[in-house]
Amino acid sequence: MSRGKVIRYFTIYGFFRTLVKVAGRSRNMFLRLFFIRLFWRRKANISLIGCGQFGFSTISYFLLKKNGNHFLECFDIDEEHQKTTADFWGYDPQHDATHLLNNLHCEYVYIASNHASHTDYAMQALQNGKAVYIEKPVSVNYDQFRSIFGLRRKLFLAGDKVFVGYNRPFSPAILKLNEFIRNSMLPVTLNCFVIGHFIEKDHWYRNPEEGTRICGNLGHWLDLSINLLNTRGKIPELYTISISYSNKDEIDDNISITMVTELNDLITIIITSRSEPFEGINESIQFQSGDTIAKIDDFRQMYLWKSSKKMKYRFNPKDVGHSNAINQPFNGMRRDFTEIEVSTVIMLEITDMVKKREILRVVEPFMIIDTQLSWFKKL
């Protein structure tokens, strides 16, 4: 990270979060001395699969910040990533994921590896009786969807042990907005303008098995949309989805997705990534439902109008909901899992659309879920 970027990040994310982002990139072991909670070890029961940027500087950081040092073991196919994460946070490095997943001391497994591997690791963790936190996306195709969502439904009565990394619904801005729209049963208009990271052509996100940027990035705002629709009282059953491609050779960058529903909701998501934004990902979200209007500026501030009343909220440091999302197993904040099932189906349908360069499709997610998971219902 350049010095200019570090200084800018301090103003956006605060001292420790910037420090850990620098540590994630440099893997400088000296910086661990700033995290004094690391030196007070508690019961070691949390293991990590995937020791890249997110596992290192977001998951491990927010776990330590809220719960202290419960780190047990970590695994990554990249030995250097694995070793530096282990050395920094105090995990015991494992050269085999199965060993980590079988460890009787492990109660929670956090998965932050490549997208195509999330479902398999999560299945193994659940089958071994662990609670599992799956970074987005949960699944990148319908085979994976059937396996993991089916297994979760089957195990649900034994206690819900699946947590997912879609964090926007846990941000203070969205939690505040929820208070004004809960069960209003009014149509929603939502616009998300997202300036995403510039991803090189050879980045692993673009490998064919990883599900495109629709699974890798766009899933966030699809999930946020379903969360807001559900909060206002009902998840719609029918979505007319249209896609505009700025360049048909770039099927998952610089595109616009529009969804209208049978409840007269109107949602547009634009993802643009024509160069790397200096301050990282940047989001403008505008919302209207009844007499509630919200403008969220990059999760750093929000203007909210309720009829004639105008409110302004500042979020300093910027808070996209990572802390709350990552600590779901411990803070009692739970998502309605139907939202995750529906948003995943819509994400998979849009992934299929972009692969086929389609511009229009009508999607009925509940029918798809019923069909995909019917085998498990018979169990």
Ligand X SMILES: NC(=O)c1ccc[n+]([C@@H]2O[C@H](COP(=O)([O-])OP(=O)(O)OC[C@H]3O[C@@H](n4cnc5c(N)ncnc54)[C@H](O)[C@@H]3O)[C@@H](O)[C@H]2O)c1
Q: Annotate each residue in 89-128 with x if it binds ligand X (CB under 6 A) or - if it does not, as one string.
A: -----------------------xxxx-x-----------
- Among the listed residues 165, 196, 211, 365, the single contact to ligand X using CB under 6 A: 165
Residue by residue, DSSP assigns 174-237 as HHHHHHHHTT-----EEEEEEEPPP--TTSGGGSGGGTHHIIIIIHHHHHHHHHHHHHTT---S
Binding mask 35-64 for ligand X (x = CB under 6 A): --------------xxxxxxx---------
Contact call for residue 136 and ligand X (CB under 6 A): yes
Least Å from the CB of residue 373 to ligand X: 23
Report, in Å, the least distance between residue 349 CB and ligand X.
19
User: Which of 285, 283, 138, 145 lies closest to 216, judged by CA?
Assistant: 138
Residue 242 beta carbon to ligand X: minimum distance, rounded to whole angstroms: 26
Largest CA distance in the chain: 60
H or E stretch at 258: strand 255-261
> Which one, 190 or 224, has the nearer CB to ligand X?
224
Task: Closer to ligand X by CB, 128 or 258: give it.
Answer: 128
The residue count for the chain: 379
Residue whose CB is less far from ligand X, 84 or 372: 84
Residue of the chain from 42, 78, 310, 334 that contacts ligand X (CB under 6 A): 78
Is 132 among the residues that bind ligand X (CB under 6 A)? no
User: Whose CB is nearest to ligand X?
Assistant: 52
Give how many residues touch ligand X by CB under 6 A.
22
Residue 216 interacts with ligand X (CB under 6 A): yes or no? yes
**Partners of 73 in the β-ladder:** 92
- CA angle at residue 92 from 88 to 93, to 5 degrees? 90
In degrees and rounded to multiples of 5, residue 72 shows phi and psi of: -110, -75
HEC readout, 83-135: HHHHHHHCCEECCCHHHHHHCCCCCEEEECCCHHHHHHHHHHHHHCCCEEEEC
Q: Kindly state whether residue 339 participates in binding ligand X, applying the rule CB under 6 A.
A: no
Q: Which residues bind ligand X (CB under 6 A)?
A: 49-55, 75-78, 81, 112-115, 117, 135-136, 165, 167, 216
